[in-house]
Amino acid sequence: MSFDDPDMIACAELVQRADPDRFRVAMAAPVSARLVLFPLFAANVEVSRAPWVTQEHLIAEMRLQWWKDAFEEIAAGGNVRRHEVVTPLSRVLDARGAQLMLDLAEVRSWDIYRDPFEDAAHFQRYITATSANLMLAGARALGDVDDGAVLDMGYATGLANYLTAVPALEKAKRVPLLDGRPEAVAELAQDGLDRLKRARSARTKVSRASVPAMLLGWKVEGILKRAAAQPGRVAEGALAGSEFSDNAGLMLRAMTGRW
């Protein structure tokens, strides 16, 4: 498989249109890693937007089910449906990687409805499946990793992205947080920072080949620090750093491998 492959071109174009941050991460990676990351990120685009493209709950569930079935086919190791994203994805994911993506699709059902999270465990399960699973699937497909380090980094990444999305979720009539009080938001962000620190302390347990997947968290520290210090910025949608600083940080991490 190469970038001359029409499916790979389609995956890259989809990610470029729909997920600019992950497109930057993939483009900062070696070409060999892009062949893994683009199909994975394209699948994530399709799954994550499935609950939002229609107001009809049944249709949204059917869209998610299509992807669940595709991931199950990849996990089974037999015939896999022909599709411009599923086909290249099936070449880079093993059974465990496919199961991680299946779990990701399962929890996305929450996005279809307007119910609040049941409890803290439900919230943590959602962040883990939608973000840490994606990072772990990519890191495992690229090289040898310590699952715990990747899951901690993935959770911190997902939490930062989620806190950034809180105003949009509220506008869409969702209930994004269990407790929106400033002290509770600050505690949530601090938990993310603690996980980030723990992940980085285990950096040597993640192979250099897997670093491109870890770069998904290149903006995490700044976002979580701002949320912890000034939790009111979450509701204001004011967690983002400067684009220049963010892009420079990504390039530095890509060159040094110090995620």
Confidence of residue 111 (pLDDT cuts 50, 70, 90): very high
Q: What pTM was estimated for this model as a whole? A: 0.96
CA angle 233, 238, 244 (to 5 degrees): 140
Return phi, psi of residue 230, to 5°: -135, 75
Helix (H, G, I), strand (E, B) or coil at 88: helix
Pull the structure tokens for residue 225: 């620090």
Pull the structure tokens for residue 79: 């015939």
Helix (H, G, I), strand (E, B) or coil at 2: coil
Residue 24 in contact with residue 248, Cβ under 8 Å?
A: no
Q: Using one digit for the tens of pLDDT, what is the confidence trace for 11-62? A: 999 999 999 999 999 999 999 999 999 999 999 999 999 999 998 999 999 9
Residue 53 in contact with residue 63, Cβ under 8 Å?
A: yes
Rounded average pLDDT over 190-211? 98
Rounded average pLDDT over 138-156? 98
Q: Answer yes or no: is pLDDT of 1 > 70.
A: no
Pull the structure tokens for residue 217: 């968290």
Confidence of residue 183 (pLDDT cuts 50, 70, 90): very high
